[in-house]
A and B are shown apart, each in its own frame.
Chain A
Amino acid sequence: MTERRSPLFIVTVILLYVFLLAPIVIIVLAAFNSGEYLRFPPEGLSVRWFVKFAQSGPFVRAFWFSLQLAAATTLISTLLGGTAAFYVIRHAGRLRDALRLLVVSPLQLPAILTGIALLIFFYGTGIGTRGMRALLFGHTLVSLPYVFLTISTVLIGFDKSLEEAARSLGAGPFTTFRRVTLPLIKGGVISGALFAFITSFDQFPISLLLVSVGNTTLPLQLFDYLRFSFDPTAAAVSTISVLMSVGIVVLIHKLVGLESIAWGGPR
């Protein structure tokens, strides 16, 4: 049962959504606009900025580097976050709250502060920031909490009697995990992985501090570019990034439902 809302309230909500979506929609429009600037009235459709992006060395290199970095981050943070979620939800006992707080803490600490701490640490220990290593550790640190929270959410709603049934029918712990548990929590694991991927792909403050000469990520490249020019090549790059984010939101919704992620997680 729903009540009628006042027209004023409905208009307010629509305007708020317009505010929220306007800068994102405008990027897509600018990317497909044929002119150098978005003019009023608009000038016509074109894909020339996408072609220019594909021909631009720095952007393409940064794009591939970001993809590789995000893929590696996803793999490691899903393994680490997944095992942590299993332990904290199923086995932690009295330490449960303390451990949860620790694993989620990178989310609460300001990313820029974490980046500074890691920068000083990497130089001090001689690990350095050469190559992808430093970025990989930094990105994994901030992606880990998302994986942990998402997988925890599905584990809390998990019916343990299914595992007990498999065990009583003679399956070993590993077979039970592979054939019963994993298929049932698959949606949560994939959603967590998707969160990790997009967190890494969009990461800015940590990357800024840990990036090394020669390897720049896409957000950093975009940032440098925007400080000096407004050429819509940047809009084409951004559009690809927007489409990725939208695709991931839709996927996560299909897999576990956005509502369970938005307020069903362990608090």
Chain B
Amino acid sequence: MRRHWLILPVLLFLVVFLIIPYVNMVRMSFLVKPQGVPYINVFTLGNYAKVLSDGFYWAILRNTFWYAILTTAITLVMGYPLAYAIARAPNRRRPLLLMLLIAPLLVGVVVRSYGWLILLGRVGLVNEMLRYFRRGEVALMYNELGMIIGLVHVFMPFMALSIAGALQTISPDVERAARSLGASPWKAFWRVTWPLSLPGVFAGMLLVFVLSVSSYVIPILLGGNNVLVIPMLVVQLLLDAYNWPVGSALAMVFFGLTALLLWVYVKIMNRSLRWSVR
């Protein structure tokens, strides 16, 4: 029995509110922006020329990708032990560990950034403690450091979940077998468990990179006025300058480059996965 009508409402919804808006945005990036009105229906490549020839955009672009790469690397180093602890926890303790990982994920980004402001701000708890012990204060917020701390905090659960998902399909017996054959715990991990968990690691890195490259709230709240990333520029162009064509063109270039980067990444990773299985 085929009930095709079941899928119709969703299809209609996604066509109207996802596919058409995205196609429309691509169109917008090729339209002319005159003074006074948002756009007119005249085709131009000028918006792309403007974005691609501006050294300022390229500098911010490089920074944005660099922050995302840094965030991905740190979440990997921190997320792996967390994932390992969860996947190998005894059955009765695992739900609690999982709950403590997922609960922060459901707390809004603004709320979590606020928590960091209370902790690390100029009049925050850490600086209060330093002052109490007469140690002066340190700038932990409103700079790159503060932003990276916030990004790592928000995206680490995604990394840990992805890796834990891969780890829990690997039987602990495999590692035990390596141990019984004389491998040290460290060697058993690097030669057996780590290669088997790579699919989860790669998937987690992909996810965290995409999420951090497009994040907007954390750079604003925790980076203050000292950090600039492309999503901030795009939103400024759209909401403050009402320049939809150039804003769309910048967004297309940015996410086009991101997609290209990810495509190369997936190609390389697939090859190295095939190698590690051999």
Chain A contact residues, CB within 8 Å of chain B: 2-3, 6, 9, 12-13, 16-17, 19-24, 26-27, 30, 37-41, 79-81, 83-84, 86-88, 91-93, 99, 102-103, 105-106, 108-114, 116-121, 123-124, 137-138, 140-141, 144, 198, 201-202, 204-205, 208-209, 219, 222-223, 226-227, 230, 234-235, 238, 241-242, 245-246, 248-250, 253, 257-259, 262-263
In the complex, the answer to whether A40 meets B128 with C-beta atoms within 8 Å is: yes
Chain B residue nearest to A198 (CB atoms) is B106
Q: Is the interface of B mostly helix, strand, loop or mixed?
A: helix
In the complex, the answer to whether A16 meets B82 with C-beta atoms within 8 Å is: yes
Q: Which residues in A have their C-beta under 8 angstroms from that of B251? A: 113, 116
In the complex, the answer to whether B13 meets A13 with C-beta atoms within 8 Å is: no
In the complex, the answer to whether A238 meets B210 with C-beta atoms within 8 Å is: no
Chain B: residues with Cβ within 8 Å of the partner, total of 80
Whether A80 contacts B9 in the complex (CB less than 8 A), given A23-B116, A24-B115, comes out as yes
Whether A38 contacts B128 in the complex (CB less than 8 A), given A91-B3, A111-B214, comes out as yes
- From A37, A86, A87, A204, name the one whose CB has the most chain B CB atoms within 10 angstroms: A87
Chain A residue nearest to B121 (CB atoms) is A230
**Which of A113, A226, A250 sits near B117, CB closer than 8 Å?**
A226
In the complex, the answer to whether B238 meets A209 with C-beta atoms within 8 Å is: yes
**Which of B6, B78, B101, B119 sits near A83, CB closer than 8 Å?**
B6
How many whole Å from B202's CB to the nearest CB in chain A? 14
How many whole Å from A149's CB to the nearest CB in chain B? 13
Q: Which residues in A have their C-beta under 8 angstroms from that of B255? A: 110, 113
Q: Which residues in A have their C-beta under 8 angstroms from that of B25? A: 113, 116-117, 120-121
Whether A241 contacts B103 in the complex (CB less than 8 A), given A80-B9, A83-B6, A121-B21, comes out as no
Whether A117 contacts B24 in the complex (CB less than 8 A), given A26-B125, A112-B234, A223-B110, comes out as yes
In the complex, the answer to whether B168 meets A263 with C-beta atoms within 8 Å is: yes
Q: With the chains together, A25 CA to B109 CA distance in Å?
A: 15
In the complex, the answer to whether A259 meets B98 with C-beta atoms within 8 Å is: yes
How many whole Å from B168's CB to the nearest CB in chain A? 6
**Which of A91, A117, A249 sits near B2, CB closer than 8 Å?**
A91
Q: Which residues in A have their C-beta under 8 angstroms from that of B231? A: 110, 112
Q: Which residues in A have their C-beta under 8 angstroms from that of B223? A: none
Q: Which of B1-45 contact A (CB under 8 A)?
A: 1-4, 6-7, 9-10, 13-14, 17-18, 20-22, 24-25, 28, 38
Q: Which residues in A have their C-beta under 8 angstroms from that of B161? A: 262-263
Q: Which residues in A have their C-beta under 8 angstroms from that of B244? A: 120
Q: Is B204 an interface residue (CB 8 A)?
A: no
In the complex, the answer to whether B107 meets A141 with C-beta atoms within 8 Å is: no
Contacts A2-B88, A219-B111, A258-B95 known; 12 new A-B pairs at CB < 8 A: A19-B78, A23-B112, A23-B115, A23-B153, A38-B124, A41-B132, A83-B9, A112-B214, A123-B38, A245-B108, A249-B106, A262-B165
Q: With the chains together, A213 CA to B238 CA distance in Å?
A: 16
Q: Which residues in B have their C-beta under 8 angstroms from that of A39? A: 128
Q: With the chains together, A257 CA to B234 CA distance in Å?
A: 40
Q: Which residues in B have their C-beta under 8 angstroms from that of A114? A: 18, 21-22
Q: Which residues in A have their C-beta under 8 angstroms from that of B195? A: none
7 contacts between A and B (CB under 8 A): A23-B119, A40-B125, A40-B129, A41-B132, A80-B9, A117-B25, A209-B235
Q: Is B264 an interface residue (CB 8 A)?
A: no
How many whole Å from B61's CB to the nearest CB in chain A? 15
**Which of B38, B107, B109, B234 sits near A242, CB closer than 8 Å?**
B107
In the complex, the answer to whether B90 meets A110 with C-beta atoms within 8 Å is: no
Q: Which residues in B have their C-beta under 8 angstroms from that of A250? A: 99
In the complex, the answer to whether A238 meets B111 with C-beta atoms within 8 Å is: yes
Whether A37 contacts B119 in the complex (CB less than 8 A), given A117-B25, A249-B99, A258-B99, comes out as no
Q: Is B261 an interface residue (CB 8 A)?
A: no
Q: With the chains together, A248 CA to B93 CA distance in Å?
A: 19
In the complex, the answer to whether A22 meets B112 with C-beta atoms within 8 Å is: no
Q: Is B187 an interface residue (CB 8 A)?
A: no
Q: With the chains together, A109 CA to B126 CA distance in Å?
A: 37
In the complex, the answer to whether B214 meets A222 with C-beta atoms within 8 Å is: no
Q: With the chains together, A223 CA to B217 CA distance in Å?
A: 9
Q: Which residues in A have their C-beta under 8 angstroms from that of B238? A: 116, 119, 209
Q: Which residues in B have their C-beta under 8 angstroms from that of A13? A: 81-82, 85
Chain B residue nearest to A38 (CB atoms) is B125
Q: With the chains together, A102 CA to B7 CA distance in Å?
A: 12
**Which of A93, A140, A258 sits near B102, CB closer than 8 Å?**
A258
In the complex, the answer to whether A17 meets B100 with C-beta atoms within 8 Å is: yes
In the complex, the answer to whether B118 meets A27 with C-beta atoms within 8 Å is: yes
Q: With the chains together, A41 CA to B132 CA distance in Å?
A: 9
Whether A112 contacts B168 in the complex (CB less than 8 A), given A2-B90, A39-B128, A249-B106, comes out as no
**Which of B22, B153, B165 sits near A263, CB closer than 8 Å?**
B165
Q: Which residues in A have their C-beta under 8 angstroms from that of B123? A: 37, 230
Q: Which residues in A have their C-beta under 8 angstroms from that of B57? A: none
